[in-house]
Amino acid sequence: METTKLPPSSPSSPTTGFSVPSAEKVDGFPRRSMRRARQRRSHSSSQFRYQSSQVELTPLPLLKDAPVAELHDLFCKKLQQCCVLFDFLDCVADLKGKEIKRAALNELVESVATSRGVLIEPLYPEAIKMISVNIFRTLPPSENPEFDPEEDEPTLEASWPHLQLVYEFFLRFLESPDFQPSMAKRYVDQKFVLQLLELFDSEDPREREYLKTILHRVYGKLLGLRAYIRKQINNIFLRFIYETEHFNGVAELLEILGSIINGFALPLKSEHKQFLVRVLIPLHTAKSLSIFHAQLAYCVVQFMEKDATVTEYIIRGLLKYWPKTCTQKEVMFLGEIEEILDVIEPSQFIRVQEPLFKQIAACISSPHFQVAERALYFWNNEYILSLIEENCQVILPLVFATLYRVSKEHWNQTIVSLIYNVLKTFMEMNSKLFDDLTASYKVEKQKCV
Amino acid sequence: MTLTVVCFSIWLCLVSLYGLGTCLSKMAGADGDDSLYPIAVLIDELRNEDVQLRLNSIKKLSTIALALGVERTRTELLPFLTDTIYDEDEVLLALAEQLGNFTMLVGGPEYVHCLLPPLESLATVEETVVRDKAVESLRKISQEHSPVDLEVHFEPLVKRLASGDWFTSRTSACGLFSVCYPRVSSTVKAEIRQHFRTLCSDDTPMVRRAAASKLGEFAKVLELDYVKSDIISLFTALASDEQDSVRLLAVEACVSIATLLPQEDLETLVMPTLRQAAEDKSWRVRYMVADKFSELQKAVGPEITKNDLVPAFQNLLKDCEAEVRAAAANKVKEFCENLPEDSREQIIMTHILPCVKELVSDTNQHVKSALASVIMGLSTILGKDNTVEHLLPLFLAQLKDECPEVRLNIISNLDCVNEVIGIRQLSQSLLPAIVELAEDAKWRVRLAIIEYMPLLAGQLGVEFFDEKLNTLCMAWLIDHVYAIREAATCNLMKLVEKFGAEWAQNTIVPKVLGMANDPNYLHRMTTLFCINALSEACGQEITTKQMLPVVLKMSNDQVANVRFNVAKSLQKIGPVLDSNALQTEVKPVLEKLATDTDMDVKYFAQEAISVLALA
Whether A268 maps to a domain, the answer reads: no
pLDDT reported for residue B36: 61
Question: Greater confidence, A436 or B415?
Answer: A436
Decide if B471 is inside a domain. no
Chain B residues 146-205 with a CB less than 8 Å from chain A: 166-167, 204-205
A14 at the B interface (CB within 8 A)?
A: yes
3-state secondary structure of B90: helix
Residue A196 has pLDDT above 90, yes or no: yes
pLDDT higher than 60, residue A31:
no
Q: Which residues pair with A157 in a beta bridge?
A: A44
Closest chain A residue to the Cα of B284, Cα to Cα? A14
Which of A18, A48, A238 minimises the CB distance to B366? Answer: A18
B129, B213, B321 member nearest A11 (Cβ): B213
In the stretch 252-281 of chain B, residues with CB closer than 8 A to chain A read: 252, 281
Q: How far is A300 from chain B (nearest CA, A)?
A: 17
Please indicate whether, in this complex, the C-beta atoms of A141 and B129 are within 8 angstroms of each other: no
The phi and psi torsions of A44 (rounded to 5 degrees) equal -145, 150
Total domains in chain A come to 1
Within 10 A of B361 (CB to CB), how many other CB atoms are there? 11
Q: What is the least distance, in Å, from the CA of B110 to any CA of chain A?
A: 33
User: Per-residue pLDDT tens for B89-103?
Assistant: 888 898 899 899 888
Domain of B610: which CATH number?
Answer: 1.25.10.10
Distances (CA, A) of B215 to B48, B227, B251, B292: 43, 10, 10, 16
What B53-60 contacts at long range (C-beta under 8 Å, 24+ apart), as own/partner pairs, is B54/B87, B54/B88, B54/B91, B55/B88, B55/B90, B55/B91, B55/B94, B58/B91, B58/B94, B58/B95, B58/B98, B59/B94, B59/B98
- What is the phi/psi pair of residue B382, to 5°? -90, -15
Question: Would B486 be classed as within a structural domain?
Answer: no
- Name, in order, each residue with C-beta under 8 angstroms of B57's C-beta and a sequence gap of 6 or more: B42, B43, B45, B46, B48, B64
**A vs B: CB pairs below 8 A:** 105
* Preceding amide of A267 cis, omega within 30: yes
A433: which strand partners?
Answer: none
- Tell me if A6 is assigned to some domain: no
| Angle formed by the axes of helices A311-320 and A289-306, nearest 10° | 160
For residues A49 and B471, the answer to whether their CB atoms sit within 8 Å is: no
Sequence-distant (6+) residues with CB within 8 A of A402 are: A361, A362, A364, A365
pLDDT of residue A158: 86
Is A330 among the domain residues? yes
Q: What Å distances lie between residue A61 and A56, A107, A115, A117, A168, CA to CA?
A: 16, 11, 17, 20, 22
Helix (H) or strand (E) holding A292: helix A289-306
Mean pLDDT confidence for A181-205: 92
**Mean per-residue pLDDT, A385-401:** 90
d(CA B549, CA B537): 18
What's phi and psi for B402, nearest 5 deg?
-70, -25
B444 touches chain A (CB under 8 A): yes
User: Binning pLDDT at 50, 70 and 90, where does residue B23 land?
Assistant: very low
Q: CA-to-CA distance for B60 and B78, rounded, in angstroms?
A: 14
**Are residues B374 and B333 in contact, defined by beta-carbon separation less than 8 angstroms?**
yes
Task: Measure the CA dihedral B352/B358/B363/B366, to 10°.
Answer: 30
B321 lies within 8 A of chain A by CB: yes
Amino acid at A213: T
Q: For position A254, what pLDDT does the model report?
A: 96
Report chain A's mean pLDDT, rounded to a whole number.
Answer: 84
CB contact at 8 A, B266 and B229: no
Q: What is the signed CA dihedral for A9, A15, A17, A19, rounded to 10 degrees?
A: 0
Amino acid identity of residue B456, one-letter, is L
Percent of the residues in chain A that have a pLDDT greater than 90, as a whole number: 48
For range B41-49, the mean pLDDT: 75
pLDDT for residue B395:
84
- With cut-offs at 50, 70 and 90, classify the pLDDT of residue A420: very high
pTM: 0.78
Amino acid at B525: M
In a domain, B459, yes or no: no
What is the C-alpha to C-alpha distance for residues A61 and A78, in angstroms, rounded to an integer? 10
ipTM surpassing 0.85, yes or no? no
pLDDT of residue B575: 87
How far is the first Cα of chain B from the last one, in angstroms, to the nearest whole number? 71
Specify whether the backbone of B539 is left (phi greater than 0), alpha (psi in -120 to 50) or beta: left
Model pLDDT for residues B147-198, shown as the tens digit of each residue: 888 889 999 999 999 999 899 999 999 999 999 999 888 999 999 999 999 9
Flag whether B576 is in a domain. Answer: yes
For residues A427 and A437, what is the distance between their CA atoms, to the nearest angstrom?
Answer: 11
pLDDT greater than 70 at residue B39? no
For residue range A285-319, list pLDDT tens digits in order. Answer: 998 899 999 999 999 999 999 999 999 999 999 99
In this prediction, residue B250 has a pLDDT band, given cuts at 50, 70 and 90, of: very high
CB A399 within 8 A of CB A437: no
Q: Which residues contact B354 (CB under 8 A, 6 or more apart)?
A: none
The dihedral built from the CA positions of residue B106, B110, B111 and B116, taken in this order, carries a sign that is positive
Provide the residue range defining the domain that includes B583: 500-614
Instruction: State the Cα–Cα distance between residues B590 and B584, nearest whole angstrom.
Output: 11
**How confident is the model over B67-118, as pLDDT tens digits?**
888 888 888 888 888 876 667 888 889 889 989 988 888 888 888 888 898 9
B64 pLDDT tier (thresholds 50, 70, 90): confident
For residue B277, the chain A residues in CB contact (below 8 A) are none
**Cα–Cα dist B273/B237, whole Å:** 9
All residues at 6 or more sequence positions from B191 whose CB lies less than 8 Å from its CB, including other chains: B155, B159
Candidate from A48-62, A186-200, B488-502 with smallest mean pLDDT: A48-62
| Helix, strand, coil share (%) of chain A residues, nearest 5 | 65, 0, 30
Instruction: Supply the range of the domain harboring residue A391.
Output: 307-448
The Cβ of residue A27 has, within 10 Å, a number of other Cβ atoms equal to 10
Give A366-394 as a DSSP string: -SSHHHHHHHHGGGG-HHHHHHHHHTHHH
Chain mean pLDDT for chain B: 85
- Binned at pLDDT 50, 70 and 90, residue B436 comes out as confident
Give residue A8's pLDDT.
Answer: 37
Percent of chain A residues topping a pLDDT of 70: 87
Neighbours of B133 (CB within 10 A): 23
HEC sequence for B105-141: HHCCHHHHHHHHHHHHHHCCCCCHHHHHHHHHHHHHH
Give the mean pLDDT of A209-236.
94
Specify the amino acid at residue B284.
Answer: R
| Structural domains counted in chain B | 1
Which residue in B90, B445, B483 is closest to A23 by CB distance?
B445
Instruction: Tell whether B27 is covered by a domain.
Output: no
State the average pLDDT over residues B589-610. 92
Question: In angstroms, rounded to a whole number, what is the distance separating the alpha carbons of residues B223 and A389?
Answer: 72
CB A396 within 8 A of CB A362: no
Looking at residue B409, what is its pLDDT?
87
Close Cβ partners of A49 (under 8 Å, ≥ 6 residues apart): B320
pLDDT given for residue A19 in this prediction:
41
Contact by Cβ (8 Å): A83, A121? no
pLDDT tens for B356-407 read: 999 998 888 899 999 998 988 888 888 888 888 888 888 888 888 888 888 8
Residue B48: is its pLDDT beyond 90? no
Q: Give the mean pLDDT of B331-349.
A: 89
Model confidence band, residue A449 (pLDDT cutoffs 50, 70, 90): low
What was the pLDDT predicted at A166? 94
CB B199 within 8 Å of CB B170: yes
Q: What is the pLDDT of residue A444?
A: 84
Q: Inter-chain contact A23–B129, Cβ cutoff 8 Å?
A: no
Q: Which of B4, B54, B91, B128 to mutate to test the interface with A (most CBs of A within 10 A)?
A: B128
Percent of chain B exceeding pLDDT 70 equals 93
Q: Which of B7-10's residues contact partners 24+ apart within 8 Å by CB, and which partners?
A: B9/B83, B9/B85, B9/B86, B10/B86
Instruction: Mark which residues 110-129 of B lie under 8 Å from A by CB.
Output: 126-129
Q: Does B48 touch chain A (CB under 8 A)?
A: no
Residue among A409, A430, B272, B149 at smallest CA distance from A438: A430
Domain-embedded: residue A3:
no
Which spans in A189-225 are helix H?
Answer: 190-198, 205-221
Domain assignment present for A295: no
CB neighbours (10 Å) of residue B350? 11
Is B238 a member of any domain? no
- What percent of chain B clears pLDDT 90, i.e. is strictly above it? 34
Q: Is residue A421 over pLDDT 60?
A: yes
Q: What is the pLDDT of residue B35?
A: 56
Q: Does A59 touch chain B (CB under 8 A)?
A: no
